[in-house]
C-alpha cells in the first residue's frame, strides 16, 4: 500500500448532472420569483409616485392657510395690544384729569377764602372809617363852637368866601372827601396829603412841588389868625413839614390824613396846623 493511501484527497467530489439540474431549476425559480416580485414592487411603487406629485399642491395650500391664520392671529394680537394701550392712556388721562380737577377745586377754595377775608377786612375798614368820620364831624361841630367863642386863640376862623382860583381849589379838595389815603397816591381816587394839594392847585394851572416839605415854603407865609380859603396849611416846621392840607373856610380844612380816615374835612381844632402859606 502506498504510504499516501490513507490520506483523503483534497479534490472536491464531482457533482452529478441531476444535482446540477436541480440547483439550476431552483435558481431559475428563485430568479423568476424575484422577477415577479420586482415587477410587482415596481407596479406598487408607481402609485406613490402619483401621490407624491399631488403632495406639493396640498402642502402649499396648507402653508397658505397656516400663513393666513398666523396673519389673522398677529392682527388680532396687535389690535388687542393697541386697545390695551388706548385703555391705559385713557385711564392715565382720567387719573390726571381727576387730579387736576381736585387741584383746581383746592385753588378755587383758597381764592374764595382769600376773597372773603379781603371783603371782611374792607368792610371792617369802611366801618372804622365811617365811625372816625362821624367822630371828626362831631369834633368839627364842637371846634366851630369853640372858635366862635374864642376858646382857641391861636387859630381864628375866617368866614370869607373864596373866589376865583381859590374857590376852584377849595371845590377840588372838597370833592375828594371820602377817597382813600395811599402813600404816594396822586389820584384820581386815592391820595397822600401832598399829592392831593398838588393836584388841587394844578387844576387851576399852578405847579407845586410834590412833597410836603417843599409845599410848606411854596408861597407867602401867613398867620393862622389871617387865613383865607385856598391857603395851604402845614404841620411841622416850614421847610420840614410832614403833613399839608387846604383851608376851605369856616375854620375847616380838607386833607388826606391817613389810611384809616382817608380824605376828610375837619376842624382846625381837630388837628391844629403849625403854619400856612398863600399861593393864590
pLDDT in tens, 176-225: 999 999 999 999 999 999 999 999 999 999 999 999 999 999 999 999 99
- Does any domain span residue 205? yes
Strand-pair category, 190-191 with 180-181:
parallel
CA nearest neighbour of 267 among 257, 259, 258, 277: 257
- Does any domain span residue 175? yes
DSSP-derived 3-state class of residue 279? coil
Per-residue pLDDT of the chain (280 residues; tens, 9 = 90+): 555 555 555 555 555 555 544 555 545 554 555 444 554 544 444 455 555 555 555 566 777 777 788 888 888 888 888 888 888 888 888 888 888 888 888 888 888 777 777 766 665 565 555 555 545 444 444 444 343 333 343 555 554 577 899 999 999 999 999 999 999 999 999 999 999 999 999 999 999 999 999 999 999 999 999 999 999 999 999 999 999 999 999 999 999 999 999 999 999 998 899 999 999 9
Q: Which three cell numbers stand for residue 76?
A: 388680532
- Does any domain span residue 253? yes
- Does any domain span residue 145? yes
Domain carrying residue 262:
127-278
CATH of the domain at 171: 3.90.1720.10
**C-alpha dihedral (244, 246, 247, 248), degrees to nearest 10:** -160
Q: Which three cell numbers stand for residue 140?
A: 368839627
- Does any domain span residue 119? no
Total domains present in the chain: 1
- Does any domain span residue 121? no
Q: pTM score, two decimals?
A: 0.47
Amino acid at each position: 500500500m502506498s504510504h499516501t493511501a490513507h490520506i483523503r484527497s483534497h479534490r472536491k467530489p464531482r457533482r452529478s448532472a441531476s444535482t446540477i439540474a436541480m440547483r439550476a431549476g431552483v435558481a431559475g425559480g428563485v430568479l423568476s420569483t424575484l422577477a415577479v416580485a420586482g415587477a410587482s414592487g415596481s407596479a406598487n411603487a408607481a402609485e406613490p409616485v402619483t401621490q407624491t406629485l399631488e403632495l406639493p399642491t396640498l402642502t402649499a395650500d396648507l402653508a397658505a392657510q397656516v400663513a393666513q391664520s398666523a396673519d389673522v392671529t398677529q392682527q388680532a394680537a396687535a389690535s388687542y395690544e393697541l386697545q390695551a394701550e388706548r385703555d391705559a392712556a385713557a385711564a392715565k388721562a382720567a387719573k390726571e384729569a381727576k387730579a387736576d380737577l381736585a387741584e383746581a377745586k383746592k385753588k378755587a377754595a383758597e381764592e374764595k377764602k382769600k376773597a372773603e377775608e379781603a371783603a371782611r377786612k374792607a368792610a371792617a375798614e369802611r366801618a372804622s372809617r365811617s365811625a372816625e368820620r362821624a367822630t371828626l364831624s362831631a369834633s368839627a361841630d364842637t371846634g366851630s363852637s369853640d372858635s366862635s367863642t374864642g376858646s382857641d386863640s391861636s387859630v381864628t376862623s375866617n368866614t370869607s368866601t373864596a373866589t376865583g382860583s381859590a374857590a376852584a381849589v377849595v371845590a377840588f379838595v372838597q370833592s375828594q372827601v371820602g377817597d382813600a389815603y395811599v402813600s404816594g397816591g396822586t389820584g384820581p381816587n386815592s391820595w397822600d396829603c401832598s399829592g392831593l394839594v398838588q393836584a388841587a392847585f394844578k387844576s387851576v394851572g399852578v405847579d407845586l412841588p410834590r412833597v410836603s416839605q417843599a409845599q410848606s415854603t411854596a408861597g407867602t407865609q401867613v398867620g393862622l389868625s389871617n387865613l383865607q380859603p385856598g391857603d395851604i396849611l402845614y404841620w411841622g416846621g416850614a421847610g420840614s413839614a410832614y403833613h399839608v392840607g387846604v383851608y376851605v373856610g369856616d375854620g375847616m380844612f380838607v386833607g388826606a390824613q391817613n389810611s384809616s380816615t382817608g380824605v376828610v374835612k375837619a376842624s382846625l381844632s381837630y388837628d391844629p396846623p403849625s403854619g400856612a402859606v398863600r399861593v393864590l
